[in-house]
Amino acid sequence: MPRITIQPLDRTVDADDGDTLMGAANEAGLYWPTTCGGQGICTSCACKIEGGAENLEPMGRSERKTLAQELGEAAAASGRTRLACQARLHGDVTVQKPGVRANETSSLLAAE
């Protein structure tokens, strides 16, 4: 079972093989910043891959195009910046994404 370590939150979540980074985090009760709701047409979910890049599916044309248009060709070419709504896991990964936090709904449910 793949695991995602999310910094600076310092939280590790389990994921199913083939899950997206954002989908697995959401499933674990975390809010991951997004503007387009996971359609891969904005870059608000973009994160830096700190380790385990080889455990992600290769970047598709649509993801590469969005990164290049929004963040520049260098971001798309580096492979270190990925759209969390598109990057699918096949092993452990460490990412850097400020703004990831406990989902308010899950926090409210835990308080009840």
Alpha carbon separation from 23 to 13, 29, 82 (Å, rounded) = 11, 10, 14
pLDDT tens-digit map of 10-65: 999 999 999 999 999 999 999 999 999 999 999 999 999 999 999 999 999 999 99
Whole-prediction pTM value?
0.90
Could you tell me the two tokens for 4?
Answer: 């995602």
pLDDT tops 70 at residue 68: yes
**Domain segments of the chain as ranges:** 3-103
Which DSSP letter does residue 19 get?
-
pLDDT tens-digit map of 80-92: 999 999 999 999 9
Q: Which helix (H) or strand (E) holds 65?
A: helix 61-71
Helix/strand/coil (H/E/C) assignment for every residue in 20-41: EHHHHHHHCCEECCCCCCCCCC
Topology of domain 3-103, CATH = Ubiquitin-like (UB roll) (3.10.20)
